[in-house]
Structure 1
Amino acid sequence: MTAFVQPLNDKEMTRLDGFLLKYGNDEAILTLSELDGFLVALASSPVLLTPNEWLPEVTGGRAPRFKKPAEAEAFSALLMRYMNNVAGELSEACDAFEPLFLEDESEPDPQVVVEEWCFGYLRGVQVARWPALPPVQVRHLEAIALHGLDENIEKVEALQPQEHAASVEAVVIGLRALYRFFDSQRG
C-alpha cells in the first residue's frame, strides 16, 4: 500500500510542465502527458525501479543544467511527488485512475489525443524491461501501442470518430488491467 501524497495543484503541474520543456532535449520527456504515461508504466511494472534507474529517461540521458539550485530542487520535488501520486492513485483506486490525456481543440469537436501518453507508457515499459506477457495482457499492451508507436500513425488517422473513442477507452482499460495483473503478482 502506498502512502497518500498530496496531488500537484494546477500551478505545480504548470511549473513541472515548464521544467520538462525548458530543460529537456530531443531525447527527454517533454510533456506532462508523456510523463504521466511513463510513470504509470513504471508504477505498474513487476519490478519497481529506483529514480536513478528511470530519471535519465525523463531528462534525455543527461542532467538538466538548471539556472538556479532552487529550480533543480523544485523540479526534483515536483517530479517525485508526481511519481508517488501516480503510484498511490493506482494502488488505492486503480479502477478510477484517469490518465492525463491531451485534448486537440483545433477541431470543431475537440478530440482526445492519447499519443504522447501512450508513447511515454511504452518508454516506461522499455526502461523497466517488462517480461513477456500472457496473451490477454499482450492485447492490452497492443491497445496502448496502437497510439504509442510511429508505425501505427496511419492506422490511427484512418479511425472513424467512434472507432477512435473506442481505442481511447481500450487504452484506459488496458492500463488498469496491466496494473492489476502485475499488482497481483507482487501480492
Structure 2
Amino acid sequence: MNDAAPFAPPLSEAEIEELDEFLMSDHVPDSSMDVSMIDGFITALVSGPNLVMPSTMLNWIWDADNGREAPQFSDALEYQRIVGLILRHWNDINDTLNASANNYEPLIMESRWEGRTMPVIDEWCEGYHKGLSIDAAGWTPLLAEHPEWFTAITLYGTESGWDELKARKDSVDQHEAFANSLADSARRIHRYWVEDRKLRIERDEMPVAIGPTGKREPLKRPPKAGRNEACPCGSGKKYKRCHGLLESNEFEATGRKTATFPRSSEGEEPTLIHSPLSQRIERVATGVDLEIYRGSTGGWLLEIVDEFGNSTVWDESFATDVEALAEALNVIDSEGITSVIGSSLRKSSAV
C-alpha cells in the first residue's frame, strides 16, 4: 500500500509571476529573494544533510541578508496565499528530486543579449549558496570531497566568484555551459545526501534540525512510556491517549473533536506517522507544543497543546506536514500565541 501524500502541483506561470510581484513590492524588505533565488535556495535546503525548519526558510526568503526582517501582509489571507505558494514550490522541488530527479530543472531567468537568449543564473546560484551557508558545518564534507559539483554555484553565487568571473572574461559558450551544468550538479548533490542520510539511519544516528536562529539541534527520539503513564511529549495526557494513539483509531471523545483514521483492508489497527516538524513554539514567556501526524492514509492533522493540557485540533487535514506547520505559525504570528492557549481548567477545542 502506498501511504505517501500526493505530490504538490507545480506553480503555474501565473502563480510564479504573482509570487514574484509580491516579492518585488514595497511590502517586502529590499533584501528579499526573487523567485529564481528562492528556487536555488529551496533546492539546497531540500537536498542538504540536515532538516531545515520552514520557519527558518521563510526568514531568509524575506530577508536574504540577515534573516530578520519580514514583509507587511495586508491580511491573513494574503499571508496564507504567499506562504502557500512558497511551500508548494518547496514540495514540488522535493518531490521531483526524490521521485523523478531526471525531470528536475532549475528555475532561472533569461535575457536578450546581442540577439541571443541568455540564461541569468546569478540569482539561482546565490540562493543555492545561501542554502549552504545556513548549515555550513553540515555541508563541509561534500564541499571538500566534490568541489567540482559547486564550481558554477560558487562562481555565480558569491562575491569572490563574481570577482573571479570578471577576471576570467569567459566566453558566452562557457557561460551557457555553466548554466547547463546546474541541473546535473543539483541532482548529484541531492543523491549524495540521500545516500548519506540512509547510512546515518543505519547507524541509528538522529537527524539534526536547523532552527530559525541557525542553531543545530538533534531531533530527539521520544522515550518509551507505559500505556497509562504520562506521555513524554509533555502534553499532560496519558501515553495511550497521546503518542500512543496507534493503540486506537480515534481521539479522546470528551471535550474535543473526534477524528477517525481508516483501517487497513486486513482490519488491524492503524499506525500514526508523526512528523519531525512537530515542535515546541515559544513566544513572550509562554509556549505551546505543535503535534503533526497522520494515519497510514489521508492528510496530515495539526494539534496544538498548551501548558494546561488544552488541545486545539484543526478540522481540516493538510496535504503535507510543511503546510500544517505553516498554518500553525500563521495563526500564532497573526493572532498571537494566546489565541491557542486555553484556561487552566483544561478544556479543549477544535477549529
Q: Is TM (by shorter chain) over 0.5?
A: yes
Say whether residues 1:49 and 2:52 are aligned partners. Answer: yes
* 2:159 aligned residue: 150
Whole-Å separation in 1 of the counterparts to 2:164 and 2:120? 14
C-alpha deviation, 1:59, in angstroms: 0.9
Whole-Å separation in 2 of the counterparts to 1:9 and 1:20? 17
Residues 150-186 of structure 1 deviation map (CA, whole Å, 9 limit, x = unaligned): 2222543511122112222232222111111101112
* 1:14 aligned residue: 17
Q: Which moved more, 1:153-162 or 1:121-130?
A: 153-162
Whole-Å separation in 2 of the counterparts to 1:16 and 1:136? 36
| Aligned structure 1 segments of 4 or more residues deviating by more than 4 angstroms | none
* 2:42 aligned residue: 39
**Code of the aligned partner of 1:177:** R
**Code of the aligned partner of 1:69:** A
Residues 70-120 of structure 1 deviation map (CA, whole Å, 9 limit, x = unaligned): 211101111111111111111112222100011112431111111100000
Q: Secondary structure at the match of 2:110?
A: strand
* 2:31 aligned residue: 27
**Code of the aligned partner of 1:132:** T
Say whether residues 1:5 and 2:8 are aligned partners. Answer: yes
Q: Which moved more, 1:40-49 or 1:89-98?
A: 89-98
Tell me how large the CA RMSD over aligned residues is.
1.8
C-alpha deviation, 1:136, in angstroms: 4.4
Whole-Å separation in 2 of the counterparts to 1:174 and 1:136? 14
Q: Is the 8 A contact 2:7 2:95 kept in 1?
A: yes
Pick aligned residue for 2:139 from 114, 127, 131? 131
Query: How many residues end up aligned between the 2 structures?
Result: 186
C-alpha deviation, 1:127, in angstroms: 1.6
Q: Is the 8 A contact 2:106 2:182 kept in 1?
A: no
- Name the larger-Rg structure: 2
Pick aligned residue for 1:59 from 59, 62, 66? 62
Say whether residues 1:102 and 2:102 are aligned partners. Answer: no
Q: Is the 8 A contact 2:125 2:152 kept in 1?
A: no
* 1:117 aligned residue: 124
* 1:163 aligned residue: 174
Q: Secondary structure at the match of 1:90?
A: helix
Say whether residues 1:72 and 2:82 are aligned partners. Answer: no
Q: Is the 8 A contact 2:49 2:197 kept in 1?
A: yes
- What's the TM-score, normalizing by structure 1? 0.90
| Distance change in 2, residues 1:156/1:104 (3 Å) | farther
Say whether residues 1:85 and 2:92 are aligned partners. Answer: yes
Say whether residues 1:141 and 2:150 are aligned partners. Answer: yes
Structure with the greater relative contact order (CA < 8 A, sep ≥ 6): 1 or 2?
1
Q: Is the 8 A contact 1:45 1:179 kept in 2?
A: yes
**Code of the aligned partner of 1:100:** L
**Code of the aligned partner of 2:139:** P
